[in-house]
Amino acid sequence: MDYFERDDVIRRIKTALESRSGKKWRVTHGRGTASYWLRITAPPKRCARGVVSPEDQEELGQLLGEEQIGSQGVSVPDQDGSYQEFIDRAEGREPSVKGAPNWD
């Protein structure tokens, strides 16, 4: 996936979450070797010291169809269909693929 495609994925996830919740969400990419990993979290205004509130964790979990969301939000790897899985989740659909991260 190239730089522009990654940015399109970020835009699509962010737009879908905001449209469905009526709230702002933050979708960013990593740096360096992790530049294609995405992080989905609440914006800094709703985080205390970078920690997502329990309320936002619960709402983000509902929006993404995930039972548990950590205090740092959700990490999305750039492989094995994970981008498509989280686009589907953000848009309120059952994932058409399930990503499987490679934890080297």
* In a domain? residue 52: yes
Please determine, for residue 103, whether its predicted confidence score (pLDDT) is greater than 70.
no
Q: Is residue 102 part of a domain?
A: no
pLDDT at 54: 96
* pLDDT at position 82: 93
Partner residues linked to 26 by β-bridges: 41
- Would residue 7 count as lying in a domain? yes
Question: Is 95 contained in some domain?
Answer: no
Residue 31 domain-assigned (yes or no): yes
33 within a domain of the structure (yes/no): yes
| Count of domains forming the chain | 1
Residue-number span of the structural domain to which 66 is assigned: 3-90
The residue type of 68 is Q
**Those residues with Cβ within 8 angstroms of residue 7's Cβ, 6 or more apart along the chain or in another chain:** none
Q: How far apart are CA 78 and CA 25, in angstroms?
A: 20
Q: How far apart are CA 66 and CA 89, in angstroms?
A: 9
User: What average pLDDT does the structure give for the chain?
Assistant: 91
Q: How far is CA 87 from the centre of its chain?
A: 8
25 Cβ neighbours under 8 A, 6+ residues apart: 14, 17, 18, 40, 41, 42, 43, 60
Structural domain contains residue 57: yes
Tell whether 79 is covered by a domain.
Answer: yes
Q: Residue 3: its pLDDT value, please?
A: 55
**In this prediction, what percent of the chain has a pLDDT beyond 70?**
91
